[in-house]
């Protein structure tokens, strides 16, 4: 009769694989909160005002002359504000809802920039564009 291999090495191997999967998941599960494309301007403005209100997100960087002001659009500013708020409060029960004006994305919005007529996959494509300068100097924050 053949000897059965000891169970302990297999259990250790399984445990190590599980730990590696969890560690990889932390990198793969990066998420941001951005404005929903289908939200009306009035709803976006109301949600933006709330997100930037007292005890809200840090909206100082989307003010004129600051690094995240460009692109100067309601959608871009709302996305920045929603993400700032959500990153600050998501681990304390905060949500990315903003009365239906926001959605969670797994794609870094700092790298995937778009407007209604243009789409860029990398910030370097924006260097010659004055139409949509993007978040070149502004990275949307991610907090694990």
Q: What are 24-76's pLDDT values in tens digits?
A: 555 558 999 999 999 999 999 999 999 999 999 999 999 999 999 999 999 99
Which pLDDT does position 129 carry in this prediction?
30
Q: Note whether residue 89 is domain-resident.
A: yes
Q: Note whether residue 25 is domain-resident.
A: no
Q: Note whether residue 71 is domain-resident.
A: yes
Q: Note whether residue 69 is domain-resident.
A: yes
* 130 pLDDT above the threshold of 80: no
In whole angstroms, give the CA distance from residue 77 to residue 80: 5
* 1 pLDDT above the threshold of 70: no
Q: What is the DSSP letter of 134?
A: T
Q: Which residues contact 138 (CB under 8 A, 6 or more apart)?
A: 61, 67, 68, 80, 110
Share of the chain above pLDDT 70, in %: 62
Q: Note whether residue 65 is domain-resident.
A: yes
* 5 pLDDT above the threshold of 70: no
Grouping H, G, I as helix, E, B as strand and the rest as coil, residue 35 is: strand
**Cβ–Cβ < 8 Å for 101, 36:** yes
**Cβ–Cβ < 8 Å for 90, 29:** no
Q: Note whether residue 6 is domain-resident.
A: no
Please give the tally of structural domains in the chain: 1
Domain span at residue 99? 31-144
Q: Note whether residue 132 is domain-resident.
A: yes
Q: Note whether residue 3 is domain-resident.
A: no
Lowest mean pLDDT, pick from 50-64, 79-93, 125-139 = 125-139
Mean pLDDT of all residues in the chain?
77
- Provide the whole-model pTM: 0.66
Which pLDDT does position 141 carry in this prediction?
83
H helical segments located in 6-120: 7-28, 41-51, 74-89
């Amino acid at each position: 009769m053949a000897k059965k291999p000891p169970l302990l090495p297999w259990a250790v191997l399984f445990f190590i694989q599980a730990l590696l999967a969890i560690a990889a998941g932390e990198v793969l599960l990066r998420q941001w909160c951005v404005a929903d494309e289908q939200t009306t301007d009035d709803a976006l403005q109301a949600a933006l005002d709330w997100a930037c209100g007292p005890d809200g997100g840090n909206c100082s960087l989307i003010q004129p002359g600051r690094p995240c002001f460009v692109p100067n659009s309601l959608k871009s500013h709302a996305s920045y504000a929603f993400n700032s708020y959500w990153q600050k409060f998501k681990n304390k029960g905060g949500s990315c809802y903003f009365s239906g004006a926001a959605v969670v994305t797994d794609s870094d919005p700092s790298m995937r920039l778009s407007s209604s007529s243009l789409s860029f996959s990398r910030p370097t494509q924006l260097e010659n564009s004055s139409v949509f300068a993007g978040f070149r100097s502004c990275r949307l924050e991610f907090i694990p």
